[in-house]
């Protein structure tokens, strides 16, 4: 009975080795420099706005500085700009030498409210969230009018009501 047990253990051991040979190329393909998971040290290091206190409908320029902190050049990255997790534009074909950085910009017509603006790198249609930067932007609604115009308009309305009532009273008194 002992030889059967040894044969079964040998077969199990051979099966484990065979499976490890099948799995190893898959893992190496994912981390062997074939895609973004090999760890290029490229990141959006800074996000800036042309106006930190915009009003609704102002055109804002969003600048994102991308740096390659790695020791090898990178290419074919796409920088995606998001406002409240909705894509508003992108810059594709980004290539940087080792240690190089570059600033990319996009314009956006500001909408009233508090927004989360972010820039994230994408490689082979795969977002790389660890490479992103984000910043909050508060956009004030467009003012309806200035206070002096409002007060003058209110004064004209009050004066018109008073004069109308005064003329009505005078004419009514003269008819009696």
Residue 121 host element (H or E): strand 113-123
* 96 closest CA partner among 104, 87, 108: 104
pLDDT at 36: 42
pLDDT at 26: 41
pLDDT at 35: 44
Q: Are 98 and 10 in contact (CB under 8 A)?
A: no
Q: Are 110 and 139 in contact (CB under 8 A)?
A: yes
Selected from 3.40.50.300, 1.20.1440.120, 2.60.40.10, 3.40.50.880, the CATH number assigned to the domain covering 40-139 reads 2.60.40.10
Whole-model pTM? 0.62
Q: Which ranges of the chain have pLDDT less than 50?
A: 1, 24-37
Neighbours of 172 (CB within 10 A): 9
Residue extents of the structural domains in the chain:
1-32, 40-139, 144-176
Per-residue pLDDT reduced to its tens digit, 95-110:
999 999 999 999 999 9
CA of 51: how far to CAs of 45, 59, 60, 134, 164, in Å? Answer: 19, 9, 6, 16, 49
Neighbours of 127 (CB within 10 A): 15
């Amino acid at each position: 009975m002992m030889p059967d047990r040894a044969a079964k253990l040998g077969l199990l051991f051979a099966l484990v080795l065979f499976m490890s040979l099948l799995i190893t190329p898959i893992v190496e393909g994912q981390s062997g420099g074939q895609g973004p998971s090999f760890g290029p040290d490229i990141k959006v290091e800074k996000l800036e706005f042309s106006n930190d206190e915009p009003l609704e409908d102002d055109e804002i320029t969003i600048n994102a500085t991308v740096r390659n902190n790695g020791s090898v050049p990178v290419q074919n990255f796409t920088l995606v700009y998001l406002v409240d997790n909705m894509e508003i534009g992108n810059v594709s074909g980004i290539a940087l030498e080792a240690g190089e950085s570059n600033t990319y910009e996009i314009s956006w017509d500001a909408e009233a409210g508090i927004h989360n603006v972010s820039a994230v790198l994408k490689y082979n249609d795969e977002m790389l969230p660890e490479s992103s930067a984000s910043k909050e932007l508060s956009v004030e609604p467009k003012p309806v009018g200035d206070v002096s115009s409002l007060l003058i308009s209110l004064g004209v309305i009050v004066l018109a009501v008073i004069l109308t009532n005064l003329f009505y009273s005078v004419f009514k008194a003269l008819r009696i």
